[in-house]
Amino acid sequence: MLGLERKDTLLLIAVAFITLFAPIILNPFPAGSALAQFNAGYPDLMQRFVIFGIFAIGFNILFGLTGYLSFGHAAFLGIGSYSAVWMFKLLSMNVIPAIVLSIIMAGLFALVIGFVSLRRSGIYFSILTLAFAQMSYNLAYSVLTPITNGETGLQLTLSDPRILDGASTGGLPVTSLFGAEMRDTTTLFVGPWSWDFSVGYYFCAVLMLLAFYLSVRIFRSPFGMMLRAVKSNQQRMNYTGLNTRPYTLAAFVISGMYAGLAGGLLAAMDPLAGADRMQWTASGEVVLMTILGGAGTLIGPVLGAGFIKYFENIFSKINDGILHQWFAFMPDGLENAMVAVIHPFIGKGWHLTLGLLFMLVVIFLPGGLVEGAQRTGRLFRRRDKNADHVESDAARQRAAAE
């Protein structure tokens, strides 16, 4: 289907199913129950899941396929956001032109930065991309203030021209897709559950599915094959007389455009853009997402992005009170001891847990969560097979005895 093999089609359908029903799947606990705080099915967070999913999918096209570790991808995210907000200010509140411009701008910047950075590889490439991203960040903060509005961040104002929309009346206009407002949310109550279906989320989700489909096609194409060859041995490729630069540059630009799309979507959901989005910690975050999920795998980056964003928004809200509830069944002394031990890792300390988890993944599971799942799967399968052997052996012995 759609030019995909059977396995990939199944994966795509599974991803589509999960994203489309995410508002239901992510809200497994009834509203108002004790566990309701673990519900991740509110629009703001779901949008982050898919947007950072797009960002990580794009990063994976570069890092997962070619092995070039960019430490400056957040620059493209920021550029995407700034261009989208400018489009909202100047042209129209419709999200389509904004997103188109953010993809184009990010692509152009990626072309320039990639052209220069890809002349080196290995750690030098990482440092070069880092340097470019930090330059953009510093410039956005200081000299480019007329364009980026410096520390305050770029926001919509009432006096913006918005040529296509005409003069706005009343308050600030909101982003929309041909009239459908991005912040529109329908809440469905089924028994004790409540599910939020938001226009903005579904817009992002559809784009993420498109982005995911495109990345599957890239992974399975001859072009993707070439990129893998670059990863495994670039020197050999060069010796065979093949110039790898255009391929890596294409991969860099594509992943930059993905980041631009993600940045544009961030701005479309919440029309403001700040320089923080370009800081190198943001670049580090996408690296974490991709590695945690599994670099070089199709679904890994999406998983990683979801995992980290869930951690950031849900795990960080667990506090001592909740822990005391959980361990209430223990004797008092033990309960307090448990809470004291776990305390540094929860709430504000979620970064610590994330860092530890990340280290464990890099040390023991270089393939990320996906490899973890595969290994567990294989373990079960092998055990079944062993069991079969045992049974057949037993049957043979029985037969021999008779």
Partner 1 sequence: MDAILIQILNGLDKGSAYALIALGLTLIFGTLGVVNFAHGALFMIGAFCAVTLQKILTLSVTTIDPERTDFLGNPMKVQTPYVENWFGPEMGATIIDWAVPLAILLAIPVMVLVGFVMERGLIKHFYKRPHADQILVTFGLAIVLQEVIKYFYGANPIPTPAPSAFKGSLDIGVWLGFDPYSIIYPYWRLVYFFFAGIIIAGVFAFLQFTTFGMVVRAGMADRETVGLLGIDIDKRFTLMFGLAAAVAGLAGVMYTPILSPNYHMGMDFLVLSFVVVVVGGMGSLPGAVLAGFLLGILQSFASMNEVKSLLPGIDQIIIYLVAIVILLTRPRGLMGRRGVMEE
The interface mask with partner 1, positions 214-253, x = CB under 8 A, is --------------------xx------------------
By the rule CB under 8 A, 121 interacts with partner 1: yes
CB of 330 to partner 1, least distance (A): 24
By the rule CB under 8 A, 128 interacts with partner 1: yes
CB of 122 to partner 1, least distance (A): 6
Query: Which pair of structure tokens corresponds to residue 155?
Result: 């926001």
Q: Which is nearer to partner 1, 4 or 135 (CB)?
A: 135
Query: Which pair of structure tokens corresponds to residue 34?
Result: 């004790």
Polymer length in residues for the chain: 402
By the rule CB under 8 A, 365 interacts with partner 1: no
By the rule CB under 8 A, 143 interacts with partner 1: yes
By the rule CB under 8 A, 358 interacts with partner 1: yes
Query: Which pair of structure tokens corresponds to residue 346?
Result: 């929860």
CB of 365 to partner 1, least distance (A): 12
> Of residues 362, 379, 387, 395, which one binds partner 1 by CB under 8 A?
362
**How far is it, in rounded angstroms, from Cα 293 to Cα 291?**
5
Q: Where does residue 49 fall: left (phi above 0), alpha (psi -120 to 50 degrees), or beta otherwise?
A: alpha
Range 51-80, binding partner 1 (CB under 8 A): 67, 69
**How far is it, in rounded angstroms, from Cα 379 to Cα 377?**
5
Which CA distances in Å does 195 have to 35, 56, 88, 130, 163? 15, 27, 30, 41, 37
CB of 82 to partner 1, least distance (A): 16
Strand 185-190 relative to strand 193-198: parallel, antiparallel, unpaired?
A: antiparallel
By the rule CB under 8 A, 341 interacts with partner 1: no
Amino acid 379 reads L
**How far is it, in rounded angstroms, from Cα 204 to Cα 17?**
15
> Of residues 3, 161, 192, 344, which one binds partner 1 by CB under 8 A?
344
Give Cα 287 distance to the centre of its chain.
Answer: 10
Which residues contribute to the site for partner 1 (CB under 8 A)? 67, 69, 116, 119-124, 126-128, 130-132, 134-135, 138-139, 141-144, 234-235, 280-281, 284, 287, 291, 344, 349, 351-352, 354-356, 358-359, 362-363, 366
